């Protein structure tokens, strides 16, 4: 587990080459086909060295959820273990990790009329105002959401209005017992400024590699709207605004980097309170050696 640009993939690949592990991706954006540049999806060379499960399993206009991830991951983990290997779950979508470890309560289904009312309210007052409203009734969920994350803010407010209970309270339940011994490694930077430098460098590399062209291709080939979860992903949201003429290239770069930093901040907020996490400095020169030693001890039992 770790924030964006913390080096999760590189470390995971090195572990796969040393131990009998198979990677299961825990990333809500990597599930989408044709979204390669903006998601920093592992390239063909990396995938040849260390195949990943749960990549490219949905079109960008199709839904995917924490519940679907949990079902998919549990099935894959059982299959990997049956083949005498060990699942290595790698990613930064912390809600997916929590869904796997704790399960998910039966939340109410989406209410179309209520969602339209929320969207109409947001059109008048703005999503930051609804985020502030969510903060008043469900501060735990609000702390993990950006003020303009319309999809998730809307869903959290919808759940509260339908049930009278905050979504965070409904998700908080006794952990479901997984039939595995767990080692939970959290990559956390000792210097946040260095992580910010990595984020900026990576976003610039994405722009150079053709992020805007990728989004333009997606818009031509799929029935997409800007409020779909795939297009709300960091980088894609800003590239969409650029293609619509709402921002220029400078704005795309600045807003994309700022949004990625905010994402990393939210991921670190999750990790600071994560139970049983073994924290490793993702900037340490001997990170691979530290992680390998932990994994080796764990596999020995």
Q: Within 10 A of 36 (CB to CB), how many other CB atoms are there? A: 19
Q: How far apart are CA 64 and CA 41, in angstroms?
A: 17
CB–CB of 278/186 below 8 Å?
yes
Measuring CA to CA, which residue among 256, 209, 220, 250 is closest to residue 37?
Answer: 209
Torsional sign, CA 64, 198, 196, 249: negative
Q: How far apart are CA 53 and CA 15, in angstroms?
A: 16
pLDDT on residue 172: 64
CB–CB of 160/137 below 8 Å?
yes
**Residue 169, SS3 per DSSP:** helix
pLDDT on residue 174: 47
What angle do helix axes 211-221 and 236-243 make, rounded to 10 degrees?
Answer: 80
Both tokens assigned to 222: 């799929």
> How high is the mean pLDDT in each 10-residue block of the chain (301 residues)?
98 98 98 98 96 98 91 96 97 95 77 89 94 94 90 91 86 69 97 98 98 98 95 97 98 98 96 94 98 97 86
Measuring CA to CA, which residue among 191, 185, 129 is closest to residue 157?
Answer: 129
Q: How far apart are CA 288 and CA 13, in angstroms?
A: 10
Both tokens assigned to 99: 């869904």
pLDDT on residue 3: 98
């Amino acid at each position: 587990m770790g924030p964006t640009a913390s080096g999760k993939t590189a470390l995971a690949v090195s572990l796969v080459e040393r131990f009998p592990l198979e990677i299961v991706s825990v990333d809500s954006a990597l599930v989408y086909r044709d979204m390669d540049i903006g998601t920093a999806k592992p390239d063909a060379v990396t995938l040849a060295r260390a195949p990943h499960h749960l990549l490219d399993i949905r079109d960008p206009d199709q839904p995917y959820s924490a519940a679907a991830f949990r079902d998919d991951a549990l099935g894959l983990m059982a299959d990997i273990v049956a083949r005498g290997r060990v699942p290595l779950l790698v990613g930064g979508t912390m809600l997916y990790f929590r869904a796997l470890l704790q399960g998910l309560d039966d939340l109410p289904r989406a209410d179309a009329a209520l969602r339209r009312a929320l969207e109409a309210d947001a059109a008048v007052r703005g999503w930051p105002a609804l985020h502030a409203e969510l903060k008043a009734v469900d501060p735990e969920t609000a702390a993990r959401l950006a003020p303009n994350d319309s999809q998730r803010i809307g869903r959290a407010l919808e759940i509260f209005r339908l049930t009278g209970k905050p979504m965070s309270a409904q998700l908080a339940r006794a952990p479901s017992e997984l039939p595995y011994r767990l080692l939970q490694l959290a990559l956390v930077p000792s210097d946040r400024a260095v992580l910010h430098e990595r984020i900026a460098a990576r976003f610039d590399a994405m722009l150079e590699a053709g992020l805007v062209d990728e989004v333009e291709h997606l818009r031509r080939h799929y029935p997409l709207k800007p409020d779909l979860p795939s297009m709300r992903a960091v980088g894609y949201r800003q590239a969409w605004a650029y293609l619509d003429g709402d921002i220029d290239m400078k704005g795309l770069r600045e807003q994309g980097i700022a949004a990625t930093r905010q994402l990393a901040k939210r991921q670190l907020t999750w990790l600071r309170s994560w139970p049983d996490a073994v924290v490793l400095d993702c900037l340490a020169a001997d990170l691979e050696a530290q992680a390998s030693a932990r994994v080796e001890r764990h596999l020995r039992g």
